[in-house]
Amino acid sequence: MTDLLAPSGTVHWIGAGLSTGSGLTAVRDAARQVRLWHRGVERAEESLARLGLSGSVAPRAFTRDALSAELAPGDVVVSMLPTSEHAELLRLCVGRGAHFACTSYVSDAVQALVPAAEEAGTVVLAEAGLDPGIDHLFAHSLVGRARAALGDGPARIRFTSYCGGIPAVPNDFRYQFSWAPRGVLSALRAPARHVADGVQVTVDRPWEAATRHTVLDETFEVYPNRDSVPFIAQYGLPPDWRADTFVRGTLRLDGWLSAWEPVFTELRGGDDARIAALADDLAARYPTTVDDRDRVVLTVSLDVRTDSGEHWEGGYLLDTTGDATESAMARCVSRPLALGVGQILRGGLPAGLTRAARGAEESERALAQLAANGVAFTRNVPDPVLSARAVGNRAIPVCDQ
């Protein structure tokens, strides 16, 4: 493996959509220069004006050739594009000796390029947003705290992690699209694997496994998403902890299942052409506009009961609403991403693949930074002065909204 490529201080932020928020300001403050790329330069200029960055971040009209012409060794490319486009950008970065960052899960196509990135000295930062991102930080923190309280001996655990972007003012459809409807529908058509009653379960239609989930005094509808099982190891659960429940999933407003039944009927049919047409129709009928206020809710909890009778229970809750400057989704995605980009700019990440959450200790540091940078959440953990057998918890606001 070659040495890490020295960061140049220039950042190319690709995409000025609904997930580009005040994290871009933090990147501007940390970088020598920043360019915001979008399909049309006008949209980039509008985003910069909204964020108060006109004149300090350069707008650009994005094409691969245009980016390639300006990309220099040590630059950082931040992709806010769909996952399917990340591999092409990463390939360009490896070829030009630049670094790469995104908020998405690591696709097979990106994973295949990691050896070449390591050899080239290129940093590949992924899963550095909200979900995936902050949810991982919460999980690592809870596992670390539970292990510190109870040790690694035999225990049974219940772990749940649910995240959703929902309308701040509920509509009849119980949803507004803050990202491409085709992506939302595609996710609903993908099988989901999780642990229920101690057994691994795969559901072909995730919404059919939906349950009601109460957060404080509010009821939501939640369902499993993707494959939860690999995260048992990724979150560092001790081998002797046996999962009765382990699920990572999606959160929706109460009433979503009923409101979406016509959509589910189309999804059950599986006709790609009809589903594509449905996605276009939904995009037109239920968009999130600049005048709408969105809400992000992320709730992560861990319950551990040892074979000797000890009990530890803790959780995190992030519940925030957008404002006139930026959406809640943009805030929660772009600010943790900005922290990761800052690490790249300082030369603090190794060549090759790095996920934003890297164990309990690193996650605690990252959460403290997020709290200091305006990402509000509440931690609910056992009082440290009480015995691990105590069940009573206390809510600690880590950062005021």
- What gap in Å lies between CA 310 and CA 319, rounded to an integer? 30
DSSP H stretches of helix in 121-248: 134-150, 181-189, 230-234
The number of residues in the chain equals 401
Query: Do residues 339 and 29 make contact, with C-beta atoms less than 8 angstroms apart?
Result: no
Catalytic residue, candidates 75, 131, 294, 303:
131
Query: Do residues 184 and 265 make contact, with C-beta atoms less than 8 angstroms apart?
Result: no
Over 60-105, what HEC string results? EECCHHHHHHHCCCCCEEEECCCHHHHHHHHHHHHHHCCEEEECCC
- What gap in Å lies between CA 270 and CA 77, rounded to an integer? 36
* Most distant CA pair in the chain, distance: 63
Q: Give yes or no: 131 in active site.
A: yes
Does the bond joining 115 to the residue before it have cis omega, within 30 degrees of 0? no
- Region of residue 225 (left: phi > 0; alpha: psi -120 to 50; beta: else): beta
Query: Do residues 330 and 20 make contact, with C-beta atoms less than 8 angstroms apart?
Result: yes
DSSP per-residue string spanning 224-283: E-SB-THHHHHTT--TTEEEEEEEEEEEEETTHHHHTHHHHHHHHHT-HHHHHHHHHHHH
**Tokens linked to 226:** 């993707």
**Tokens linked to 395:** 């809510």
Return all residues near 311 (Cβ < 8 A) that are at least 6 apart. Answer: 303, 304, 305, 388, 389, 391
Q: Which residues are known to be catalytic? A: 131
